[in-house]
Structure 1
């Protein structure tokens, strides 16, 4: 295994021995070190630190020694044209795992359902069959669907496996996971169909989404042994990863190894996703395990590696991964090309980004209309108002909702607030009722451009229209006040909203306030928000402790017991956090010396 040997050499240069690497590969759980993306500086993600370069220069060696396995799912991109797994209830690659901190926080958000979809928007989407059972469930005003299902049976309507499966797919498509779980439970209780492995897997996934990973883990023990296979455990693993439960994910993976279950590419992709967010140094360990188990990387595996290199500004390494893909006959898909363009822009390689974007668009942008939303965002990041105008012109005559969202954000990024407002007004005229999420898009533009009064007026207009506010609107509103320097007001508004609507704010919303208090050296309020994050159910992250330490540093006060608090949460300092710990400990020494003197 030449690639593994090369990896061990690279790791040794960072203080890892070959024995350490083997230990990490064999048993992940005892070596858990959770690191958050935000707590690691770019300099620590260079190719000298992250041993992925060992695979770039092994040519075909790395990929040829890997066998083939099937994959369940990998990514939460609603536009990604991925395959649907062979489960009848329609759990797709997009559904189970999330590569964004806040994606899982969006489920059952009222802002997703308080606007009517216009006929134009319906036509713009691929036509998907809707079951009559699904329509009956969604038309019911009751929180419980049992009476609806009982009435359905009493009227002698069809309740075949195909009808149930289609209803389940429809419910999942709208993220109505609670009702989907009720349907699954009712079907089993009434013995309408004989449960298969796919049915148990679907139930497990829904329990994890609705009731949490702990309840899902308990459900696994109730699944008959004959159906408790790789699909069950990889679904549990995916949900652990989506909630960034590092130890639980590693325990699940170890359980799969102990049971000698076949490990698919999907399983390893989940670990890569987990460590991409929490501990990038462990990515090399996962790749080594893939080599050992002869598991072939998928397109999404490459996507993760490309993103890791892109985020670290290692453009040469990123391009080498693409070349390795092509040498193996794997062509980058649209999602990978979009990632390449974004990373080029982030690294200041705009000419390379434009080459990729032009290639994707082809000669006629209208033929690749679905790309417009992405293009608007990337060109806006480049500050190219003329390109934003060109792309928006291609869809302005008959715009779709995602394109309007992207256009408003794009015009805001290039500081043309008037055009952002014009798109919003066009939406108001085009559709009968806008959702609060659509208001939130313009609200974020006002926040970015520090236009507090306009933001307040928009909130009043939104309230007058009868829109229900939810986490997305709160996030935009908090950023509006924080940008205007009114962090206390942002804090107060968020608390009132939570008490009124009993909904869970997004992690990023809390983090905006946390960061601002920390910059001020306001220890009391920083600790308060830190506690609220925990109370809201967000697992402790190294980045949150990193910010907490910033508050103590700015206040020039020692943070007593901070290491013990981190250890209690199974977190260990990364390089950047270790530097801050040393800074606050210096304050403690100064305080003691002052007393002695």
Structure 2
């Protein structure tokens, strides 16, 4: 059994309540500690020492765990061949691939952008190398080719015509089509295909078909519709899989309240707690409330659930975010002691945090270890190594790795190379890769967005405008990823009002929702200027876009008042109304914007 304990403080004094019935998670606010460190106690979890982590609960615990012993269930992993049915990603939290992929992103991406993945534009023109690689036995589906270029409203007609032409509808063909649609994030079209298949009664729906439908509904129509759909799924289908799929989508959409409700319902239904479900909560709380991580670890101890490789990776990443490198290394040591070797993605997370902490020598040693002795044989590592070497400022290493790929580059390698050259301020090299890409593949919003960010970081406004015009002339679809890049392009050029105008027009003209960090970029600029009027306007638009209120939003807003030297009357009431408990950073800002606080300095001036 795993042991979770606090070395310095007994559980009863820390707000934990352990009984013998079901787990309950109370509704909480999304409090995110800026440093991730608020106590200096140690946690031992299965021999895993989490020293100075900030993984703790305050005197009034947010999670009221009442734990009983349950039989373990392992539904969180599948073999690679399940991809042929197109549903293996349902076993991972984002529904889009491996959960640990998200850990390779920046901290800002993890905390800000994850709230609305379903609205990112679909990369219609991208070729998915993974599907075409003969080594993985994947080929393009004829059924997919019939769907991909057809408008959503015409999909059913196109499918009927496809059948009339004498094509046979086989499960293998359908599975391939689903794989292709999901990999391109064409979730609406995938859902239309699923609905049409059920209406045709060509073959009987099985558990993974229902799970796939549930996942697609959550992504395209919202969590409420998905929860309602579960009630119509036959009882013969595993409740574990169905609610696990729903929970994963709650986490993907960063809905803390709904995720906790779904987790509670799973317990009420007697569904065993799995490492998969616990990893979902860890991902959720890493983004929103790091203090709750200890509560999840305590739950895992009492349920006798052994952590997976991903569990350790999440904890490692959380430690890295708090800049506690020594404790991060200790987690790695404990991970190895449990017989789990860090995989490439975990090592990449470690390398990223070493670089951020200024430990460049340690990071470079790790990157060499990741690369091994034959990069040509392990070429799939290239897209991971390129941006990491760029973060280290290693121009020669980026060039060396790109030379391995350049003669026959893959899509993900090209994107990584553009990003890497951009970080090194080698704009000409980034442009060369971009031009090579659009010769091999059609122009896509994702490709353009990556190069736009290079132009933004280098304050090359005219080149960015030319690229946007080129994108429009090609008929390439524009969505939240592109809006984000355009906004940052104008902001870096000092044209905040233009960035604001572009985002407002984009939001009005499209049903898609801008990315959280896009709004935050503009809000930060207005706050820096002390422009309270426009800062409040952006803050209101963020709330109207249905983004959950976050401490970061209020932190930036209060900076606007501080820079304007104007008190923020009623700000405490606004925080209370949004159910946000101020952390240390917010508390310090509240003191500065309190209009009723008597300042001794002012008395001297009166």
Name the residue aligned to 1:76. Answer: none
Are 1:208 and 2:239 matched, yes or no?
no
| Residues 564-585 of structure 1: CA deviation (Å, up to 9, x unaligned) | 3333333322221222222222
Moved more, 280-289 or 483-492: 483-492
Supply the distance in 2 between the matched residues of 1:58 and 1:574 (Cα, whole angstroms): 21
Q: CA deviation at 1:431?
A: 2.8
Q: Is the 8 A contact 2:122 2:184 kept in 1?
A: no
Q: Which structure 2 residues correspond to residues 89-108 of structure 1 after superposition, within 5 A? A: 89-92=86-89, 93-94=91-92, 95-96=94-95, 99=102, 100=110, 101-102=112-113, 105=116, 107=118
Name the residue aligned to 1:543. Answer: 552
Match of 2:261 among 251, 255, 258: 251
Name the residue aligned to 1:41. Answer: 34
Name the residue aligned to 1:449. Answer: 458
**Structure 2: segments with no counterpart, 5+ residues:** 52-68, 103-109
Compared CA separation, residues 206 and 427, structure 1 to 2 (3 A)? closer
Name the residue aligned to 1:72. Answer: 76
Supply the distance in 1 between the matched residues of 2:491 and 2:423 (Cα, whole angstroms): 18
Are 1:166 and 2:176 matched, yes or no?
yes
Q: CA deviation at 1:407?
A: 1.9
Q: CA deviation at 1:237?
A: 1.1
Supply the distance in 1 between the matched residues of 2:252 and 2:174 (Cα, whole angstroms): 27
Q: Is the 8 A contact 2:133 2:139 kept in 1?
A: no
Q: How high is the TM-score relative to the length of structure 1?
A: 0.86
Q: CA deviation at 1:282?
A: 0.6
Match of 1:327 among 322, 337, 340: 337
| Residues 530-580 of structure 1: CA deviation (Å, up to 9, x unaligned) | 122222232222211222222222223333333333333333222212222
Compared CA separation, residues 568 and 24, structure 1 to 2 (3 A)? farther
Name the residue aligned to 2:353. Answer: 343
| Residues 242-267 of structure 1: CA deviation (Å, up to 9, x unaligned) | 11111111111111112221111100
Match of 2:573 among 538, 556, 564: 564
More helix by share: 1
Are 1:197 and 2:207 matched, yes or no?
yes
Moved more, 193-202 or 83-92: 83-92
Moved more, 335-344 or 550-559: 550-559
Supply the distance in 1 between the matched residues of 2:50 and 2:513 (Cα, whole angstroms): 47
Moved more, 580-589 or 84-93: 84-93
Match of 2:533 among 503, 514, 524: 524
Q: Which structure 2 residues correspond to residues 156-555 of structure 1 after superposition, within 5 A? A: 157-227=167-237, 229-428=239-438, 430-431=439-440, 433-555=442-564
Supply the distance in 2 between the matched residues of 1:218 and 1:526 (Cα, whole angstroms): 38
Q: CA deviation at 1:308?
A: 0.9
- Over the residues paired in the alignment, what is the CA RMSD in angstroms? 3.4
Compared CA separation, residues 338 and 69, structure 1 to 2 (3 A)? farther
Compared CA separation, residues 572 and 108, structure 1 to 2 (3 A)? closer
Aligned residues: 572
Q: CA deviation at 1:452?
A: 2.2
Q: CA deviation at 1:272?
A: 0.4
Supply the distance in 2 between the matched residues of 1:50 and 1:258 (Cα, whole angstroms): 32
Q: CA deviation at 1:126?
A: 4.2
Supply the distance in 1 between the matched residues of 2:527 and 2:50 (Cα, whole angstroms): 45
Supply the distance in 2 between the matched residues of 1:83 and 1:323 (Cα, whole angstroms): 29
Are 1:3 and 2:3 matched, yes or no?
yes
**Structure 1: segments with no counterpart, 5+ residues:** 60-64, 74-80
Q: Is the 8 A contact 2:320 2:350 kept in 1?
A: yes
Supply the distance in 2 between the matched residues of 1:465 and 1:177 (Cα, whole angstroms): 24
Supply the distance in 2 between the matched residues of 1:153 and 1:392 (Cα, whole angstroms): 45
